[in-house]
Amino acid sequence: MQFELDRRRPGQSRITTPRKETDTCRILSGVSEGVTTGTAITVFVPNTDQRGHDYSEMSIAYRPSHADATYDMKYGVRAVQGGGRSSARETIGRVAAGAVAKKILKNLAGTEILAYVSQVHKVVLPEDLIDHDTLTLDLIESNIVRCPDPEYADKMIDAIDAVRVRGNSIGGGVVTCIVRSCPRGLGSPVFDKLEAQLAEAVMSLPATKGFEIGSGFAGTFLTGSEHNDEFFTDEHGRIRTRTNRSGGIQGGISNGEIISMRIAFKPTATGHNKQHTVTRDKKEMELIAHGRHDPCVVPRAVPMVEAMVALVLLDQLMAQHGQCNLFPINPNLQEPMLLPGLEPNKVPL
């Protein structure tokens, strides 16, 4: 859990916010001697480097493209210091919970979730440079921008540095997330389509503006025969697809192939440039925001995306386990979850 929080924390490099937080977690309940007890897991992560005076002018004015105005419109009150629930600080809880979910998925099904930065502003990592079958966490974590290609990582860092020194921001980027060894059969045909659940989860993260799975919008340029993933039987007797334009999900249900998705993030809304806005009493003014903000959000968004994907998959895995115990349809098509010394129908959840 601490490892995942360290990947998310502010102040970890020059391309993130300069605010220093250790984000040291304390588990207050639910764990004894390193093992979960079945009760609620309570995690405490204190703030240690906040500066309320940075937000004094924002108490009367709305920051452009921030949640200030809509929170006021809906509730008639808002948290001025730090943005309250609109702050990315709230993702600490998501990442902590996601760390637990990732561990369960790995132990029960061998499932691996890896996300990385594939675009920063106009620097776009070509998809064919990254082999999703062999991609490792070490490769992703080998540089501060979390791009698995060193050459493109340097270009992305340069792009962030260029706006950082001017007090501006860029997104302005894309996080690609893959899931390896995802069990078949997760998701439902209509109301709980797996791709819809994933989209809802990752789009609930701050600054997200787009989601695509598999071929995504590029698939609109193909014909049906070009886009279809043809089936075959591999050397182990498993039904597979020769291509993966569906992104590992067909009909709202996982098919056992790698799940691949891309999430777009907008530039950080708060910067140090002068912007036009209005006050709460509707008077126009110019605002120069103060404070310490990320010049680019995507390097720190990587563990957030992984966490949300893990939470969705664990939910769906538990639902599938319960459903298949009641309705064991087409058991020969299922690849059972196995733990050492346990039969498939004895795997505990």
Measured CA to CA in angstroms, residue 257 lies from 132, 234, 246 at distances of 11, 13, 9
State the Cα–Cα distance between residues 67 and 85, nearest whole angstrom. 9
Position 342 in a domain: no
State the Cα–Cα distance between residues 71 and 77, nearest whole angstrom. 7
pLDDT digits (tens, 9 = 90+) for 135-193: 999 999 999 999 999 999 999 999 999 988 787 888 779 999 999 999 999 999 998 99
Q: How many domains does the chain divide into?
A: 1
pLDDT digits (tens, 9 = 90+) for 12-29: 888 877 777 888 999 999
For the chain, what is the mean pLDDT?
Answer: 87
Write phi, then psi, for 29 (nearest 5 degrees). Answer: -160, 165
Residue that is written with structure tokens 């733990």 in the block: 339
Nearest to 164 by CA among 12, 296, 298, 299: 296
Q: Which residues contact 25 (CB under 8 A, 6 or more apart)?
A: 1, 2, 5, 43, 44, 45, 96
DSSP character at residue 183: P
Indicate whether this model's pTM tops 0.75: yes
List 240's β-bridge partners, or say none.
232
Which pLDDT value is given to residue 259? 98
Write out the residue range of the structural domain in which residue 189 sits.
2-335
Query: What own/partner pairs with CB < 8 Å and gap ≥ 24 does 282-285 have?
Result: 285/61
The model's confidence at residue 287, banded by pLDDT at 50, 70 and 90, is: confident
Alpha-helical (H) ranges within 219-268 are 224-227
Looking at residue 215, which CATH number applies to its domain?
A: 3.60.150.10
Q: Amino acid identity of 222?
A: L
DSSP character at residue 36: E
pLDDT digits (tens, 9 = 90+) for 92-135: 999 999 999 999 999 888 999 999 999 999 999 999 999 999 99
Position 348 in a domain: no
Cβ neighbours, 10 Å, residue 243:
13
Nearest to 176 by CA among 120, 251, 222, 107: 120
Asked if residues 249 and 195 have their Cβ atoms less than 8 Å apart, the reply is yes
Position 341 in a domain: no
Position 345 in a domain: no
| Phi-psi sector, 247: left (phi>0), alpha (psi -120 to 50), beta | left
Position 53 in a domain: yes
